[in-house]
Amino acid sequence: MYDITLLTIIWASVFIASFAAHKTKLTPVLWFLFFGSLMVNLGILPVEMPAFIIDFAEIGIILIMFALGFEENSENFIRGVKKAWGIALFGALAPFATAYTTAYYFWQDSNLALMCGLAMTATAVSLTMVSLRSEKLQTSAAATGIMTSAVLDDIASLAMVAILVPMATGEATLSVMGIGAILLKAVFFFTIVTLLGAWLFSADKSPLRKIPIIGRFNLRHFVAMGDSQHATLSMLLVALVVSLLGHEFGFHPAVGAYMAGLILKEEYFLHQEKLYDRTKRIIDDVAFSWIGPVFFVVLGTRLIIDVEIFVSVLPQTFVLFFGLFFAQIISASLAARYTGKYSWEDSMMIGFGMLGRAELAFVVMDIAYVQNSILSTEAFYTLMFTAFWLNVAVPLTIRWWKPYYAGEKPMPLSKIQQATDDTSA
């Protein structure tokens, strides 16, 4: 019953956090993170969560990303990928260089600095998308830009993890074949997802519809089985299958879940608007009310405050946080503006949305600190504190920027921006 007791405590904190978010007008994610950190430091939650809670939290982030993908329009996403290459490239290079330089300055260890740079490269898109959703901006152009950039970012980051970690541990050297294999797996995964969207999940327009047996099967029939009583179950099954497929190709399962949601369309519900609305409402409730929030509470428990270590790494945390804060916003915003041709409002929102650090950052820290002892204790806690405050900055900056984004307030420095645009034109 111990695991059930922990889940009860976490759900109680989710309830209180949701109430606090409503009263303070802040995104619930911020409160979920806060309560997770508070409870682990007070000893209410354990430092090492049992496997049940960890797996439950993993299901939560899968459901969140599936629900977000389900709301997105696939055509918009594809168009966004074409505009996102610069955001992904420069939005990753700048934080990598900043973290690497800062870490090397403080600890004079190139392998340690390499792991710090790698940990601070990938964006925690799930945190950003949930924050955008709380502001009703999850289907905005900025949200699409963030998600598409993050997908490309994930591909590059996964490739870097596979290449740089063996180099840092001395187990391998740089290999063209190794890089090629990683990129090939990424291409193969997205090709499979695209084929699923074009054939298996298509309604009546599949290019293979005339093939016996195979051509008769599509997601429309899958959803309609049993008089559509199992529509929600069929959707969640698709999400988990594609998540597992993505995991097999080296991606975080949340990326696969988002892609599964992306290729599902309202037309699969046989024009039963009530069924579609009911299914979407159930999935949103599961993802954002009672399973998904567990992920963010558990994420908050990663920040364990040891006063002596906390004080000792304050200078490093301060420098790294503000360095990454400005490097990420400036690089991603300028890339969005000048390579993606987004408006300044969208560009700044994309910059703020790229601040979060979560899944891949903690994977790298676990590999470098726990499994291989590349990171020192000071470096590990510096990264932990920095990642936490970057995550806190995401909902706060998005909330601050929303009035400017919506046109409710005039853009800051609008005259300077106009002059810059005129000069570049």
Number of domain units in the chain:
1
CA pair distance 275, 234, nearest whole angstrom: 13
pLDDT of residue 416: 45
Angle (deg, nearest 10), helices 51-71 and 292-300: 130
CA pair distance 406, 371, nearest whole angstrom: 46
Sign of CA dihedral 100, 105, 111, 112: negative
Q: Is residue 421 included in any domain, yes or no?
A: no
From first CA to last CA, the distance across the chain in angstroms is 66
Angle, vertex CA 375, rays to CA 373 and CA 376, nearest 5: 95
Q: Is residue 411 included in any domain, yes or no?
A: no
Q: Is residue 106 included in any domain, yes or no?
A: yes
In terms of Cα–Cα distance, which of 243, 70, 92 is closest to 157? 92
Q: Is residue 275 included in any domain, yes or no?
A: yes
In terms of Cα–Cα distance, which of 51, 229, 83, 59 is closest to 151? 83
Name residue 186's amino acid. Answer: A
Q: Is residue 234 included in any domain, yes or no?
A: yes
What's the domain range around 282?
54-289+313-384
**Could you say which DSSP state residue 229 is in?**
T
Give how far the C-alpha of residue 128 lies from the chain's centroid of Cα atoms, to the nearest Å: 7
Q: Is residue 268 included in any domain, yes or no?
A: yes
Structure token digits, residue 302: 């990663």
pLDDT of residue 118: 87
Q: With beta carbons less than 8 A apart as the criterion, state whether 368 and 168 touch.
A: yes
Which CATH number belongs to the domain containing residue 184 in this structure? 1.20.1530.20
Name residue 22's amino acid. Answer: H
Q: With beta carbons less than 8 A apart as the criterion, state whether 30 and 393 touch.
A: no
Angle (deg, nearest 10), helices 141-169 and 125-134: 160
Name residue 275's amino acid. Answer: L
For residue 220, count CB atoms less than 10 angstroms from its CB and return exposed for 0-12, middle for 13-18, buried for 19 or more. middle
Residue 189 — very low, low, confident or very high, per pLDDT cuts 50/70/90?
confident
Q: Is residue 296 included in any domain, yes or no?
A: no
Q: With beta carbons less than 8 A apart as the criterion, state whether 31 and 20 touch.
A: yes
Give how far the C-alpha of residue 328 lies from the chain's centroid of Cα atoms, to the nearest Å: 15
3-state helix, strand, coil in the chain (%, to 5): 80, 0, 20
Give how far the C-alpha of residue 252 lies from the chain's centroid of Cα atoms, to the nearest Å: 9
pTM for the whole structure: 0.67
Q: Is residue 63 included in any domain, yes or no?
A: yes
Span 288-335, pLDDT tens digits: 888 989 988 987 887 788 888 888 999 999 999 999 999 999 999 999
Span 119-143, pLDDT tens digits: 898 777 777 877 888 788 877 888 8
Q: Who wins on pLDDT, 349 or 420?
A: 349
pLDDT of residue 171: 56
* Residues in Cβ contact with 291 at an 8 Å cutoff, skipping those fewer than 6 apart: 56, 59, 60, 63
